[in-house]
Structure 1
Amino acid sequence: MQPDHLPAVVALATRMHPGCPERADVLDERRRLCPAGCLVLTEADGQVGGYMLSHPWRMACPPALDTHLGHLPHGPDCWYLHDIAINPALRGQGHAHAALHHLGAQARLHGVKWLALMAAEGARALWAHLGFTPTPDVPAAITASYGADACPMRRALPGS
């Protein structure tokens, strides 16, 4: 993901995640802090058709929605999927599985054995289908920042 992708990423985020709005500078900070974890999916015409924002983090305390990180933690214990969005026209082509594969590779490079995320806006069943289970003991205020149905979730990497 490059700086010039940000307007398209923000537009897609607004369209795909209306209940979880975030400021452009928050999304851009993720990109700057962890370029290897922030990717775009381009359509045949070169337009942004999807994106992923992810970074190493601490599972017990995921970042609240629309907050700056400041820096990445020393000694992370998970690779955190902050957000993923794929244009509905591009779904069913394996892009989500490719993104999870990339997350796993980044996690291994950073010596962590877990993927983590916050399931929101009705996505809990999807993430459960992909092998994620609820993460215990996450502060309620953080979870609530993602909406009433939010659920922190995690998945161990294969072989962990």
Structure 2
Amino acid sequence: MIAADLPAVMAAAAAVHPAYPEDQAVFAERLRLAPSGCHVLAGERGLLCGYLISHPWPAGAVPALNSLLGVPPEGETNWYLHDLALLPAARGTGAASAIVSKLVEQVARTGYRSVALVAVNGSAGFWRRHGFAEVAEAALAEKLATYDAAACYMRRERM
């Protein structure tokens, strides 16, 4: 992903996650802080049909929706998958599984020991198939409630 992709990323985010709106500044900051964790999927005619945004963040913590991070704490061993979104044309192609596998391999090579995320929209089954497990973090209950009733914090420890 590069900065020029952000308008298309924002359009995809609005289409895929209308219940979780975030400002372009949030996506731009994630890209600036962790460019290696931000990817786009190009479809027909080179048009964006999906994206993944991720960055270092402490295990057991979740950044608030639509909030800037500032500077992630130094020395973290956990990588946070902020958002994965595919437009309908890209679903069922294996693209989501491929980028998740690529991300896990990438962060493991750079010394991270876990990847965490918040599963929304009934996606926990997808994440379980990729080695993620639900982690009960009482301190996250209030923040998870800002997503949806079924939102759950998940982490993959074995890389």
Q: TM-score by structure 1 length?
A: 0.90
Structural mapping, 1:141-160, within 5 Å: 141-158=142-159
Contact 1:79–1:103 at 8 Å: present in 2 too? no
Deviation by residue 1:61-96 (Cα, 9 ceiling, x = unmatched): 121211111012212121111001112212222211
Unaligned residue ranges in structure 2 (runs of 5+)? none
In structure 2, C-alpha distance between the alignment counterparts of 1:11 and 1:99, rounded to whole Å: 20
In structure 2, C-alpha distance between the alignment counterparts of 1:51 and 1:149, rounded to whole Å: 23
> What is the Cα deviation at residue 19 of structure 1?
1.4
Moved more, 55-64 or 34-43: 55-64
Partner of 1:65: 65
In structure 2, C-alpha distance between the alignment counterparts of 1:122 and 1:50, rounded to whole Å: 18
Unaligned residue ranges in structure 1 (runs of 5+)? none
1:106 aligns with 2:109: no
Closer, same or farther: CA 75–136 of 1 in aligned 2, 3 Å: farther
Moved over 3 A (4+): none
Structural mapping, 1:134-145, within 5 Å: 134-137=134-137, 138-145=139-146
In structure 1, C-alpha distance between the alignment counterparts of 2:37 and 2:108, rounded to whole Å: 13
In structure 2, C-alpha distance between the alignment counterparts of 1:101 and 1:131, rounded to whole Å: 10
Moved more, 119-128 or 82-91: 119-128
> What is the Cα deviation at residue 131 of structure 1?
2.5
In structure 2, C-alpha distance between the alignment counterparts of 1:152 and 1:25, rounded to whole Å: 24
Q: TM-score by structure 2 length?
A: 0.91
> What is the Cα deviation at residue 42 of structure 1?
0.8
Closer, same or farther: CA 141–100 of 1 in aligned 2, 3 Å: same
Q: Which amino acid aligns with 1:126?
A: F
CA RMSD, 1 decimal: 1.5
Partner of 1:123: 123
Contact 1:120–1:151 at 8 Å: present in 2 too? yes
In structure 2, C-alpha distance between the alignment counterparts of 1:80 and 1:115, rounded to whole Å: 6
In structure 1, C-alpha distance between the alignment counterparts of 2:7 and 2:85, rounded to whole Å: 14
Residue aligned with 2:53, SS: strand
Q: Which amino acid aligns with 2:149?
A: A
> What is the Cα deviation at residue 140 of structure 1?
1.7
Contact 1:22–1:66 at 8 Å: present in 2 too? yes
Moved more, 10-19 or 119-128: 119-128
Partner of 1:40: 40
How many residues are aligned here? 158
Contact 2:22–2:65 at 8 Å: present in 1 too? yes
Q: Which amino acid aligns with 1:128?
A: R
Q: Which amino acid aligns with 2:142?
A: A
